[in-house]
Amino acid sequence: MSQSNQKTVRVGLLGIGTVGGGTFDVLRRNQEEIRRRVGRGIEVTMVADLNVERAREVVGKAAEVVADARLVVANPDIDVVVELIGGYGIAKALVLEAIAAGKHVVTANKALLAVHGTEIFAAARAKGVIVAFEAAVAGGIPIIKSLREGLSANQIQWVAGIINGTTNFILSEMRDKGLDFEVVLKEAQQLGYAEADPTFDIEGVDAAHKATIISAIAFGIPVQFDKAYVEGITKLSATDIRYAEQLGYRIKLLGITRRQAHGIELRVHPTLVPHRRLIANVEGAMNAVLVQADAVGTTMYYGKGAGSEPTASAVIADLVDIARLMDVAPGARVPHLAFQHDELSTTPILPMDEVVTSFYLRLRVADQTGVLAKITGILAEQDISIDAVIQREADEVSGEGGNQTDLMILTHDTKEGRMRQALVQIQALPTVLAPIVSLRKEELA
């Protein structure tokens, strides 16, 4: 076996919770395999966590444990700081301090990078250090590496992904087992999938953080979370999950970013996807990312998007990259956002009115002659073409009598702005008896 004389890379871990604990365990378990790959050891020598007792139970005598994370950042013996605390507060300060101290940084913190990435990457560039973040998007799936390196020959056209395990788990369990939203959410929290604040998961914010990072890397634009459209799953009803199923679709919370002629779409929302697509069959906490690119065509990346060891897998892959590249001149490394920083594009993120999708509409209407004609007439005025119309029998409409019916309309692609105008007019019709449900639909062909 070849042995290297390169010195061991010394890692300081900030936060030893779900991901930090997994990182420590996997690194220790696989240290020999990793050393053979890298040619040098990678060792956690210092850990900071507010709960020192618990941290000591995890690391034993293998590393020094402190409560104050700044002691790790300031320690000249630490080469790489791994930030696994989360959030924008202390995590941001610690990452910037680590960079200022000339240390490379690994983080799984998508919230931090989606919101403050521009500042953090600029600071890292100025100091010639690496900020690595494979674990920030889709947990254990190496999607950052794939987009940034594996697909670097291509013009990427769009990326669509199930990039939040918690919501995919909730949608799957609700559909399969008929369980209530709250019950499944609790289960996801116990399994360590959900964020500290689960509203980030269920309101689509976590997926939007990840879609923002994907968008930057796919199209060579700055991270712009403030421009992302975000809609979660809390308003989704079991009725629409069921109707979608009957129409041949599954509802998934998708993060989508797409290059259009005049800008880039960046959006997260529940989406109807044809059930025959592979991505529609991604269940539980699994994640999947579909990438459409000009040379390679469609590729899909599938795996565990959350959890202790799957996420640790990505954190440690970043540590391996750093161990290999830390002695390489900064200009020769892969740029943080895949494109040279002075080549980032100013292409705007499109407002939602300009986004093009097809739609599923559900309307509770009076069961009278001419109702459908009025609705389709308004859609036609907005140049919205109808793909299919389905009416439920009156007696299937939740026991409210025979004079009401549910209409489901599937449309072809249209600009969202046109659909919004049409919906205002349709909602105002006296024969439309309840708020219209409108969900976006993507064929992902």
Binder of ligand HSE out of 194, 211, 256, 384 (CB under 6 A): 194
241 contacts 280 by C-beta, under 8 angstroms: no
Contacting ligand NDP (CB under 6 A), which of 135, 163, 409, 419?
A: 135
Mode of pairing for the β-strands spanning 297-304 and 229-230: unpaired
Structure tokens, 138: 């889709």
Q: How far is residue 335 CA from its own chain's centroid?
A: 21
Unique residue bearing structure tokens 């929290």: 189
Cα–Cα distance list, 380 to 195, 377, 421 (Å): 43, 5, 12
Told to judge if 210 belongs to the known catalytic residues of this protein, a careful annotator would answer yes
Q: How far is the CB of 65 from ligand HSE (least distance, A)?
A: 25
Instruction: Pick from 134, 173, 203, 206 the residue near ligand HSE by CB under 6 A.
Output: 206
Nearest approach, Cβ of residue 382 and ligand NDP (Å): 41
Considering CB distances under 5 to 8 angstroms, the limit depending on partner class, which of ligand NDP, ligand HSE, none binds residue 15?
A: ligand NDP
CA distance 117 to 110: 9
Nearer to ligand NDP, 46 or 272 (CB): 46
Q: How far apart are CA 262 and CA 180, in angstroms?
A: 42
CA-based nearest residue to 201, from 283, 311, 111, 113: 111
Print the binding letters for residues 17-56 with ligand NDP: x by CB under 6 A, - otherwise: xxxx---------------------------xxxx-----
Regarding 117 and contact with ligand HSE (CB under 6 A), the answer is no
- Residue type at 55? A
Query: Is 198 near ligand NDP (CB under 6 A)?
Result: no
Which residue shows structure tokens 């029998």? 393
User: Is the separation of the CB atoms in 287 and 141 below 8 Å?
Assistant: yes
Task: Judge residue 435's burial from the number of C-beta atoms within 10 Å of its C-beta, 0-12 exposed, 13-18 middle, 19 or more buried.
Answer: exposed
- Nearer to ligand HSE by Cβ, of 234 and 431: the residue is 234
| DSSP 8-class letter at 88 | S
List binders of ligand HSE among 262-321 (CB under 6 A): 305-306
d(C-alpha 56, C-alpha 72), whole Å: 15
Min dist. Cβ of residue 122 to ligand NDP (A): 21
Q: Minimal CA–CA distance to 272: which of 199, 357, 209, 215?
A: 357
Residue 161 contacts which entry, ligand HSE, ligand NDP, none (Cβ below 5-8 A, type-dependent): none
**Total interface residues for ligand NDP by CB under 6 A:** 27
Q: Which stretch in 9-17, 235-243, 295-303, 393-401 sits in contact with ligand NDP by CB under 6 A?
A: 9-17
Q: x-or-dash pattern for ligand NDP, window 138-157, by CB under 6 A?
A: -x------------------
Between 166 and 224, name the residue whose CB sits nearer to ligand HSE.
166
Residue 166 binding target from ligand HSE, ligand NDP, none, CB below 5 to 8 Å by type: ligand HSE
Token pair listed for 410: 């599937």
Asked if residue 21 lies in contact with residue 54, where contact means CB atoms within 8 angstroms, the answer is no
Q: How many whole angstroms separate alpha carbon 388 and alpha carbon 247?
A: 10
Q: In the window 145-164, what residues touch ligand HSE (CB under 6 A)?
A: 164
**Using the rule CB under 6 A, is 85 a contact of ligand NDP?**
yes
CB of 310 to ligand HSE, least distance (A): 9
Q: Give buried/exposed letters for 315-346 (b at 16+ CB in 10 A, else e).
A: bbbbbebbbebbeeeeeebebbbbbeeeebee
Which amino acid is it at 367? D
Residue 192 binding partner per list ligand HSE, ligand NDP, none, with a CB distance cut-off of 5 to 8 Å that depends on partner kind? ligand NDP
Q: Give which of ligand NDP, ligand HSE, none residue 38 binds (C-beta under 5 to 8 Å, depending on kind).
A: none
| 44: β partners | 11
Interaction residues for ligand NDP, span 282-311 (CB under 6 A): 306-307, 311
Q: Give SS3 for 189.
A: helix
| SS3 label, residue 220 | coil
φ/ψ of 14, rounded to 5, equals -105, 105
CB of 164 to ligand HSE, least distance (A): 4
Q: Which of 210, 252, 415, 441 is catalytic?
A: 210
265 binds, among ligand NDP, ligand HSE, none (CB under 5 to 8 A by kind): none
Residue 318 touches which of ligand NDP, ligand HSE, none (CB < 5 to 8 A by kind)? none
Closest contact distance (angstroms) between CB of 211 and ligand HSE is 12
**Distance separating alpha carbons of residues 227 and 205, to the nearest angstrom:** 12
- Catalytic sites, residue numbers: 210
Instruction: Give the footprint of ligand NDP on this chain (CB under 6 A).
Output: 14-20, 48-51, 69, 84-86, 90, 108-109, 135, 139, 192-193, 195-196, 306-307, 311
Contacting positions for ligand HSE (CB under 6 A): 139, 164-166, 193-195, 201, 206, 305-306
